[in-house]
Amino acid sequence: MSPVNSEKKRCYVYARLSTEDQHRRAEYSSLESQKKVCKAYIASQEPNGWKYVTTIKDLSSGGSTDRPGLSELLEHIKQNKVDVVVTTKMDRLTRNIKDFWTLYEVMQEHDCQFVCATQELNSTTAHGRFFINILMSFAEFELETIRERTRAKMLSQAEEGLWHGGRSPFGYERHKDRKGLLIPHKTEAAVVKRIFDLFVKLGSPAAVAKEINGMGYRTKSKKKTKFSKWTITYILSNPLYIGKTTFGGQSFDGKHKALIPVNRFNHVQKMLEKNKQTRTGPTQNKYNFRLRGILKCGDCGSMMTPSPAKSGRYLYYRCTRVSKYSKEECKVRKIGARAIEDAVVNKLCEIGTDEAVIKEAVRKANKASVTNAKTKTRELNALKKELKPVQDSIDNMIRYVEKRGDLPKAMSDRLPELETRKEQLETQIQRLEFEIGQLKDYQIDTELLTKTLQDFRTIYNELTPEEQTRLLQLMVQEVVLGEDTLKISVFPLGDKKKPLEYLLKHPEFAESDKKRG
């Protein structure tokens, strides 16, 4: 790693506090105390040019790197604004050794040091790196221990018949004095009973959701969202409502009052299983929906998913918002599957007759190929430049051994690191050289492409349904169905940045399917 400017080293303090830290009341278990210790350490290094810039804080677990403060810190490092990152302890940055090395590599790439104020570790020395590895191993072991204790505690609570989750489930609330004990909620308990009654009557979670939402009831979430058919299904299948607690696939007798009789609950489970068999069979095994995953609703923005009629004769794409709630939630609702798929195929066939579109697409594709080759060539030259001093250092050590015998400890400690880095660089260089060769050879012939696109329908019709689906997924970015229009975004040559967009009217493709239920 390149030396940092000795005249002025910009120091960023990183402080993190999790719920566990607050509960354990550990040393430096407040953000302010961490900041204070780190600033004092930076002040002690002022003769070496260290200067405090700012403190970045996080209130979250160290088990994940998905933290706003850490993301901000990394962004500053990548912009070369940070010379030294200072924390009180290693585990403030992360408790996972793999995550640490990922973060550490980013620091190395941007000439940034890492220092722990209370552990006197410096990432620029072999001694410091050795202890960083050991401490990270202990930090990861401690996190796994915490997880195991948490799981054991949750299992113990479930075995005792107590609630072991976070927010109390719908229909219940927590007892004010007895921790983990659930008691029926005054209004929600009645709603749960009504949900079971309605399902026995209507036989459909979606129909129950519509009825319950129409009555003005909402879920227990912070935003008080509507009930979806998935929320209803979860309630209907949860043994909590017959007085059971569960954990890790095991069931225990709960201490809370049951809201639903066992015989009614069992009857509902049989109905749900029957619905599941009816629903999953045809959709997943019998039909091939070619626009799965790329067809969106133009009214509400939801995805449109395969939905065969009960008879199996008619195939549709249905808006997921309608599936989750009710028909009133969206104006588009559903469309005949084969009609909309044929419209997309017809438009792809038309591309082959538009000579100007083909020439422009070829020009962009070939230009992109040349640009990519130049970019990768710059990357290749940079890697070769980085490899040279690494190889020189290894050669010098070999000559040292030939002349004087064993290497000094400092050199011996550094040799494996150099050899590893050399292997990484050589692998990256080999990969880039291959990719550059491929890009230079990649030039599209306009005449050949025109003939291929003109024969698209013939080629398409000869494919199996599964192959037709894969081809459409490659060529089409997105299909958006509106009330009276259909927008098709096409990648004629894999140019993902600038797709071609076409707008169709319903009469052009689905006169018989304009009526949507």
User: What pLDDT is attached to residue 153?
Assistant: 82
Report the alpha-carbon distance of residue 380 to residue 436 in Å, rounded.
Answer: 9
Express each pLDDT in 35-55 by its tens digit: 888 888 888 888 888 999 999
Report whether pLDDT(167) > 70.
yes
User: What pLDDT is attached to residue 489?
Assistant: 82
Q: Which residues contact 192 (CB under 8 A, 6 or more apart)?
A: 170, 171, 235, 241, 259, 260
Spatial contact of 252 and 246, defined as CB atoms under 8 Å apart: yes
User: What pLDDT is attached to residue 371?
Assistant: 75
User: What pLDDT is attached to residue 396?
Assistant: 81
Which tokens belong to 204?
Answer: 């459909």
180: three-class secondary structure by DSSP: coil
Domain range list for the chain:
9-147, 172-284, 355-448
What's the rounded mean pLDDT across residues 158-182?
A: 88
- CB neighbours (10 Å) of residue 414? 17
Q: Which residues contact 16 (CB under 8 A, 6 or more apart)?
A: 31, 34, 57, 58, 59, 60, 62, 67, 69, 70, 87, 92, 93
Backbone angles phi, psi at 169, to 5 degrees: -70, 160
Superfamily for domain range 9-147? Resolvase, N-terminal catalytic domain (3.40.50.1390)
Residue percentage of the chain with pLDDT more than 70 = 74
Report the alpha-carbon distance of residue 195 to residue 464 in Å, rounded.
Answer: 45
Give the end-to-end CA distance of the chain in Å, rounded to a whole number. 66
Express each pLDDT in 321-371 by its tens digit: 877 777 777 888 888 888 888 888 888 777 666 666 666 666 666 676 677
pLDDT band at 23 (very low <50, low <70, confident <90, very high): very low
- At which residue do the structure tokens 């140019």 appear? 495
Report whether pLDDT(11) > 90.
yes
User: What pLDDT is attached to residue 131?
Assistant: 64
Buried b (16+ CB within 10 A) or exposed e, 132-149: beebbeebbeebeebeee
Counting other chains too, the contacts that 416-421 makes at CB distance below 8 Å and 24 or more residues apart are 418/390, 418/393, 418/394, 419/394, 421/390
Residue 237's closest CA among 265, 208, 206? 265
User: What pLDDT is attached to residue 7?
Assistant: 67
User: What pLDDT is attached to residue 349?
Assistant: 78
pTM: predicted TM-score of the whole model, two decimal places? 0.43
Q: Which residues contact 1 (CB under 8 A, 6 or more apart)?
A: 108, 111, 124
Express each pLDDT in 414-464 by its tens digit: 777 887 888 888 878 877 786 777 666 555 556 656 666 666 777 777 777
Spatial contact of 181 and 175, defined as CB atoms under 8 Å apart: yes
Report the alpha-carbon distance of residue 12 to residue 114 in Å, rounded.
Answer: 10
Report the alpha-carbon distance of residue 366 to residue 379 in Å, rounded.
Answer: 20
Express each pLDDT in 56-102 by its tens digit: 998 887 777 888 999 999 999 999 999 999 998 878 888 776 677 77
SS (H, E, C) 272-301: HHHHHHHHHHHHHHHCCCCCCCCEEECCCC
Residue percentage of the chain with pLDDT more than 90 = 20
User: What pLDDT is attached to residue 494?
Assistant: 45
What's the rounded mean pLDDT across residues 225-252?
A: 90
Same fold for the pair 9-147 and 172-284: no
Report the alpha-carbon distance of residue 373 to residue 257 in Å, rounded.
Answer: 69
Spatial contact of 312 and 493, defined as CB atoms under 8 Å apart: no
H-assigned helices in 352-408: 355-404
512 or 64: which leads in pLDDT: 64
User: What pLDDT is attached to residue 137?
Assistant: 60
Residue 34's closest CA among 77, 119, 92, 85? 92
Spatial contact of 214 and 192, defined as CB atoms under 8 Å apart: no
12 or 368: which leads in pLDDT: 12
Domain 172-284: which CATH class? Answer: alpha beta
513 or 269: which leads in pLDDT: 269
Backbone angles phi, psi at 476, to 5 degrees: -110, 125
Cα angle 338, 342, 346 (rounded to 5 degrees) comes to 180
Lowest mean pLDDT among 21-30, 211-220, 250-259: 21-30
Report whether pLDDT(282) > 50.
no
What's the rounded mean pLDDT across residues 102-121?
A: 82
Spatial contact of 98 and 65, defined as CB atoms under 8 Å apart: no
